[in-house]
Structure 1
Amino acid sequence: MAHISEFFGHLATDKSEAAIRAAEDKHCPYLGETCVKRLSDGTISGACALKPATSGPVICCPIRLYADDYRIIRDVADRAFGPGMAFVPGPRARLESKKLGRPVVGVFGKRWGGELRLPQRQGVGGYFVDWVLALVGPDAGLVEFVAIEVQTIDTTGNYRASRLGLLEPSRRIVNSTAGLNWENVNKRIIPQLIYKGQVLQREEGCKKGLFFVCPTPVYQKVMTRLGGQAGLTTVHLQPAAITFLGYDYAVDAAAVQPGASVPLALEVEHTTTVYKLQERFSNIELPEANVYRNAIKIALGEV
């Protein structure tokens, strides 16, 4: 059981004119245009985050992480190339660098410089990452680059009842059958990070590795599955590095003014290697011996 806690960029509890208008217009404040998140029937979703019954809100839309004018992109660039770099759409980076007489960061990704054309893996885009940041100089051209993967969490069930409640003039908060698909951490997210990290480690120009941006609760689930952050050796940025950046709400909902969006803050940062990630993922923790036998004996009344 969960309900939508953030809808078209505004808290579900926000009944301001701005919140109501955003829902009416289906407007995403982080893109500055119509929300692109869709339900299975094509209906515009508008759900930025869900609030499960037993935990705090969890961001479920990747676009929500692009708040503050794609701040996460700048956070990565600051760590990889140094602060204060100019950002330009990727295809224009060489020209802009020559014009300015200094290096710039060329951004390749949706609504920026477009996605890079990469070879497909067995008919699918298994190599693709969400963003590539290329450091481009006026004379040297491409100096180096880093890749960014952005993930939130998929949902199970559906939140249609919750969505319909928030579309009413009273903006009712209604529980729904929706839940969070944490099993995707094991089945999809970690294997993808390992595979893409290994691909990038072989790239001559990728000197700082892969950056993984996610909500803090997703980061915590990943760390739980891997046996805790302490088991993932901390390293400096390097070709085989994977850097986790976990973001969550910077302030409590009660501190947010009506009509305003909740700001995000970088809460956790940890750099390890793809090899350590793979080692920990493969290190399955087994239960004590005879758990089946003991369960049967209890069921038979022998214990």
Structure 2
Amino acid sequence: MPTKILEFHGYEPLSNDSKNTAAAKWCPFIDVKCKKTRSGGACALQGPSSPPVIICPNRLYADEFKVIRNIAHDVFGADAELVTELDAKNRFQSGALTGCEVVVYGQGFSGEVGIKAPSNDGENGTFKIDFLLAKICKDLSLGEIVAVEVQTIDTTNSYSDAAKSYYSETPYPGHGKNPQPGWTKAGFNWENVTKRILPQLIYKGHALRREKLAKHGLFFVLPDPVFRKILTRVGGKLLKYPKGPGTITFHSYQFAETWTTQQRPFELVEELTTTVEQVAFAFVSPQNLPPLGIYEETLSKKLAKLTKAKRKS
């Protein structure tokens, strides 16, 4: 399915704001150099009959990491304040800790934390959680842990030709023999929902369940179209639970339908809390399977064609 670049370096392609940020190779959402200039600098794509899909995690970090702040306020209260390790250290040394501080380990704060874990061959390895929120006490001791994973979706094929046009500040004529202006050959790699996203979510959810301070489970932030694909993959049925140890809370976000600013705002569309077991069981017991006997039917048709071809010869 072809797609159009909906946002290029934060804004509509070829708008004045987009030209400025693209010329600087800049990400306006986290205010640093864009790391995806080789693949195109696109923030979101849209298909001909699909809603917009955010394809870069940094796009979800707009408004000073609002998606992370929302989780901290939900779990720890509206007075929870996101700080770095250095902030916490300085406040502790000056006696200014209030007990409302949440030290954030992850992009834009104190850096990601590697978690040691054994691999199948007996060697120790590590995996990372995108964000770990550490609620601290006035004596700087650890009070509670919240883990947050953030995923968008990878793309298939490439939109680099369109990106080259936009970097040169010219309209993209489109791809293929009968090009349509703006349309690229890039698509969405929905297979990654099955191959990568769900297995990682289940593994990290199980690992976190063993932590006594992880009283609210794992949070998973993602674009709403990706969330819908996950629901389809697991059969559309995940029982709801209150937040607690061993739960996974999905926060799906989508662009607002109307806006008055140059930059498109996005909003929380749905929150769903379920358990790691619910996700794991649904993943290994899919209900949206092809019809009974579809392999036999498909191969029989192919062999029948061979028979007909032999008769004609």
Aligned partners of 1:152, 1:2: CA distance in 2, in Å? 16
Q: Provide closer, same or farther for how the CA distance between residues 140 and 63 of structure 1 changes in structure 2, counting only shifts above 3 A.
A: closer
| 1:88, distance to aligned residue in structure 2 (A) | 0.8
Query: TM-score scaled by structure 1?
Result: 0.88
> In structure 2, the residue corresponding to 1:127 is in which secondary structure?
strand
Unaligned runs of 5+ in 1: none
Cα 1:298/1:202, change in 2 over 3 Å: same
Query: In the alignment, which of 50, 57, 63 is matched to residue 55 of structure 1?
Result: 50
Distance 1:242 1:4 in 2: 31
Change (3 A) 1:273 1:28: same
Q: Which structure has the larger Rg over C-alpha atoms?
A: 2
- Whether 2:251 is the aligned partner of 1:251: answer no
Q: Identity of counterpart residues, as a percentage?
A: 38
Q: For residue 254 of structure 2, what is the amino acid of its counterpart?
A: D
Structure 2 residue 200 is the aligned partner of structure 1 residue 192? yes
Other structure's SS at 1:267 match: strand
Once residues 267 and 127 of structure 2 are traced to their aligned partners in structure 1, the CA distance between those partners, rounded to angstroms, is 29
Question: Is 2:189 the counterpart of 1:181?
Answer: yes
Provide the residue aligned with 1:233 in structure 2. Answer: 239
Indicate if the aligned counterparts of 2:157 and 2:185 stay in contact, CA closer than 8 A: yes
RMSD: 2.3
Q: Give how far 1:291 is off.
A: 2.5
Name stretches of at least 5 consecutive residues in structure 2 with no aligned partner.
Answer: 173-180, 308-313
Deviations 1:280-300, CA, capped at 9 Å, x for gaps: 111133444332343455563
Match of 1:224 among 221, 224, 232: 232
Structure 1: 4+ residue segments shifted above 4 A = 123-126, 296-299
Q: Please tell me whether the aligned partners of residues 91 and 97 of structure 2 are also in contact (alpha carbons under 8 angstroms).
A: yes
**1:164 deviation in Å?**
1.8
1:1-303 aligned within 5 A: 1-12=2-13, 15=15, 17-38=16-37, 43=38, 45-93=40-88, 95-96=90-91, 98-122=95-119, 126-139=126-139, 141-172=141-172, 174-228=182-236, 231-252=237-258, 255-257=259-261, 260-285=262-287, 286-296=289-299, 300=304
Between the aligned partners of 2:279 and 2:207, the Cα distance in structure 1 is 14
Q: In the aligned structure 2, how far is the partner of 1:115 from the partner of 1:29?
A: 21
Deviations 1:185-211 (A, max 9, x none): 000000000000000000111111110
| Residues 95 and 21 (structure 1), Cα distance of their counterparts in 2 relative to 1, 3 Å cut | closer
Preserved CA contact (<8 Å) 1:121 1:127: no
CA contact (8 A) 1:145 1:206 kept: yes
Alpha-carbon distance change, 121 to 36 in structure 1, aligned in 2, over 3 angstroms: farther
